Amino acid sequence: MELLQVRAVLFDMDGTLVTSDEAVERAWTTWAHEYGVDATAVLAIAHGSPAESTVDRMLPGIEEPARSKAANRQLELQYDDLSDVSAAPGAAEVLATIKQLGLPWAVVTSADRQLAKARLGAAGIDPPVLVTVEDISKGKPDPEGYLRAAELLETSPTSCLVVEDAEVGLQAGRAAGAITAALKGLSGDVNLTDLHQLAALLDQRAHE
């Protein structure tokens, strides 16, 4: 029933609309070795969060400009690592369904614009609205990114569907007042096995 209220769809990027988990993990593993912290601990908290948030947790007490340098280094490790980045299974189908239904959509990511453009380009995806970590003052789990996307799409946040594969992203969606769709076994208002299922559910909604 939640999908009957949807007037716009807001996608996370990494692990949701774009298959890039391996590239993300390679970058954070290299970063962890460079900064002398435990890679396993980094990977346990990094997914879906802005680089600065992970830096703050792994290097407590770090101050500027070292904080920004550490976060920027993590992003630099990812810019050219696109060899296995692709559209997630079902991404083309769900975007085609959204277009057919006339629903506006956006991508809201914890990546910066350079990395987001690179990954979305590698996946063949060109969102009409892209909100990156550079467009907001607070990243996920803060709702600012999703609220900004809803504003740009001229849609109430409560009528937006946030599609996420990370708990911090789902927290951001909930805090924005949006309907949430969760991948990878996480819990949302709608629980998804993949984007193929989301395409089918949205198509079904159109005929109810």
Catalytic site positions: 12, 14
Task: Return the structure tokens found at 181.
Answer: 């769709």
Max Cα–Cα distance, the chain, nearest Å: 55
Residue in the block written with tokens 């948030």: 53
Residue 107 three-state SS: strand
Helix 39-46 / helix 21-35 crossing angle, nearest 10 deg? 140
Residues 65-76, buried b or exposed e (16+ Cβ, 10 A)?
eebeebbebbbe
Contact 162, 44 (CB under 8 A): no
Nearest alpha-carbon partner for 143 in 159, 129, 153, 157: 157
